């Protein structure tokens, strides 16, 4: 079977709180963190259940005869949506796994430098450091200011970190902590001018903004479908430029590893492949909510909400709205004691308004990152603002200043 029977949601899908019922979200919480782990719609969860049941009817037949073709078909679906050809795309568990695979198979040598930025995902920086150390290479972190006003400022900071030893640049498309859309095509162009290979970490990009990997022009592009494209957790993708496929292998090597790029990734042992099998139905769900217009809607809501929070609480966004997508990172002026006590501040916000929202320290600032998804409405951010205001009043004795 190509896919278990599907029933897509109707095109007149509800918006805002009326759309919550399409998801499995707890009604007791204000969900403002779509960016971290996504939210699986009921219809996609049901599809995953159907796949699980289907596999268990004859797992031998499924893994031997059905899965290889289905994965390649789905790679074609990824290519149609995000550019490139089916043979360039492989499924991975997540962006972390893809980044590690590229780092492991890049061929780092003694004395090489990998450049990344101060806005990169911390787990990815940790992985880069470990892989670099194994090969005698080192990681150079380009210092991009926490608050940026222009794309050129980002490009310039990255270029400044390049040296004759730089062989690889690992750069985020949408940064996690600061929620900025980096100008990846311009960054890739600058790196290529110096003969530097580029891996774009687009963990947040699929379903968040329009994506054309070939137009970006990197060597590798990884993204998660389990964040903004509504796939079940464990649905990541890696695109590899044709010239890099011969060298690119997963960290875990198995039957297909000697045979080629797609063979190596398509089979790395027995595992739960159902998140990948739901990729197409998740993408169709995204389409049914409007596809590009959904992305634009979320972006507008995030911009309006961010403006409201900035205005009401004296917070400062890390970048202007034109450099952001469906998330915004708002920073709060705070004393060192308050920054050190970020966990208490986060708990206070949670207690005051039941909002699920990341509250963290970035550099010397207290940050709150909001996400905007179809199930959110302005009222959610108003409740967050009230919760933050109450938490600030409670935390006054800890030295948080407005």
Ligand X SMILES: Cc1ncc(COP(=O)(O)O)c(C=O)c1O
Pick 97 or 288: Cβ nearer ligand X: 97
Pick 219 or 400: Cβ nearer ligand X: 219
Q: Single out the residue of 88, 396, 378, 364 nearest to residue 221, CA to CA.
A: 88
| Token output for 162 | 């390049």
Pick 273 or 392: Cβ nearer ligand X: 273
Minimum CB–partner distance for residue 372 and ligand X (Å): 16
Minimum CB–partner distance for residue 251 and ligand X (Å): 13
Decide if residue 218 touches ligand X (CB under 6 A): no
- Position of tokens 């308004």? 353
Question: Interface with ligand X by CB under 6 A: which range of 5-13, 110-118, 199-207, 375-383?
Answer: 199-207
Decide if residue 47 touches ligand X (CB under 6 A): no
Pick 224 or 376: Cβ nearer ligand X: 224
DSSP bridge pairs for 275: none
The residues near 284 (Cβ < 8 Å, ≥ 6 apart) are 6, 8
Pick 238 or 338: Cβ nearer ligand X: 238
Near ligand X by CB under 6 A: residue from 47, 172, 219, 266 = 172
Decide if residue 329 touches ligand X (CB under 6 A): no
Residue 345 CB burial class (10 angstroms; 0-12, 13-18, ≥19): buried
Pick 96 or 262: Cβ nearer ligand X: 96
* Cα 389 from Cα 399, distance rounded (Å): 14
Question: What stretch of H or E contains 187?
Answer: helix 184-193
Q: Single out the residue of 307, 328, 316 nearest to residue 370, CA to CA.
A: 328
Near ligand X by CB under 6 A: residue from 33, 176, 274, 376 = 176
Minimum CB–partner distance for residue 232 and ligand X (Å): 12
Pick 18 or 37: Cβ nearer ligand X: 37
* Cα 230 from Cα 64, distance rounded (Å): 28
Region 224-253 residues binding ligand X, contact defined as CB under 6 A: 224
* Cα 327 from Cα 369, distance rounded (Å): 7
- Position of tokens 């980096």? 182
Question: Interface with ligand X by CB under 6 A: which range of 73-81, 197-205, 368-376, 387-395?
Answer: 197-205
* Cα 275 from Cα 279, distance rounded (Å): 7
Near ligand X by CB under 6 A: residue from 70, 88, 113, 201 = 201
Minimum CB–partner distance for residue 226 and ligand X (Å): 7
Minimum CB–partner distance for residue 344 and ligand X (Å): 24
Minimum CB–partner distance for residue 234 and ligand X (Å): 8
Region 86-115 residues binding ligand X, contact defined as CB under 6 A: 94-96
Pick 120 or 355: Cβ nearer ligand X: 120
Strand pairing category for 327-332 and 316-317:
antiparallel
Strand pairing category for 355-356 and 327-332:
unpaired
Question: What stretch of H or E contains 167?
Answer: strand 166-172
Q: How many residues bind ligand X (CB under 6 A)?
A: 12
Q: Give the x/- contact pattern for ligand X in 121-160, rule: CB under 6 A.
A: x--x------------------------------------
Pick 124 or 338: Cβ nearer ligand X: 124
Q: Single out the residue of 195, 157, 197 nearest to residue 175, CA to CA.
A: 157
How many Å from the N-terminal Cα to the C-terminal Cα in the chain?
A: 59
DSSP bridge pairs for 172: 201
The residues near 338 (Cβ < 8 Å, ≥ 6 apart) are 345, 366, 395, 398, 399, 400, 401
Site for ligand X, rule CB under 6 A: 36, 94-96, 121, 124, 172, 176, 201, 203-204, 224
């Amino acid at each position: 079977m190509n896919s278990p029977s599907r029933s897509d949601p109707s095109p007149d899908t509800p918006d805002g709180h009326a759309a919550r019922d399409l998801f499995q979200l707890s009604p007791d919480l204000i969900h403002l963190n779509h960016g971290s782990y996504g939210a699986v719609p009921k219809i996609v969860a049901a599809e995953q259940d159907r796949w699980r049941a289907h596999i268990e009817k004859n797992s031998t037949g499924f893994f031997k005869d059905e899965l290889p073709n289905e994965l390649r078909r789905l790679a074609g679906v990824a290519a149609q949506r995000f550019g490139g050809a089916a043979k360039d795309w492989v499924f991975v568990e997540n962006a972390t796994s893809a980044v590690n695979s590229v780092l492991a198979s890049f061929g780092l040598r003694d004395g090489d430098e990998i450049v990344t930025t101060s806005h990169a995902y911390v787990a990815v920086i940790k992985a880069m450091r470990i892989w670099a150390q194994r090969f005698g290479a080192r990681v150079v972190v380009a210092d991009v200011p926490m608050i940026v006003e222009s794309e050129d400022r980002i490009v310039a900071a990255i270029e400044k970190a390049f040296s004759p030893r730089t062989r690889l640049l690992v750069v985020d498309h949408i940064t996690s902590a600061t929620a900025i859309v980096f100008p990846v095509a311009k960054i890739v162009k600058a790196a290529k001018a110096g003969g530097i290979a580029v891996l774009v970490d687009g963990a947040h990009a699929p379903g968040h903004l329009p994506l054309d990997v070939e137009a970006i022009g990197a060597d590798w592009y990884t993204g998660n479908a389990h964040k903004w494209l509504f796939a079940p957790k464990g649905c990541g993708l890696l695109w590899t430029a044709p010239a890099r496929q011969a060298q690119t292998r997963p960290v875990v090597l198995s039957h297909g590893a000697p045979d080629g790029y797609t063979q190596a990734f398509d089979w790395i042992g027995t595992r739960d492949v159902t998140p990948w099998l739901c990729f197409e139905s998740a993408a169709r769900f995204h389409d049914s909510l409007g596809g590009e217009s959904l992305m634009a809607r979320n972006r507008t809501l995030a911009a309006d909400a961010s403006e409201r929070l900035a205005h009401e609480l004296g917070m400062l966004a890390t970048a202007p709205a034109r450099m952001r997508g469906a998330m915004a990172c708002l920073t709060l002026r705070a004393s060192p004691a308050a920054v050190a006590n970020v966990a208490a501040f986060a708990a206070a916000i949670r207690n005051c308004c039941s909002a699920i929202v990341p509250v963290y320290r970035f550099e010397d600032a207290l940050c709150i990152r909001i996400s905007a998804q179809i199930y959110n409405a302005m009222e959610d951010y108003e409740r967050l603002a009230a919760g933050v205001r109450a938490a600030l009043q409670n935390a006054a004795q800890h030295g948080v200043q407005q």
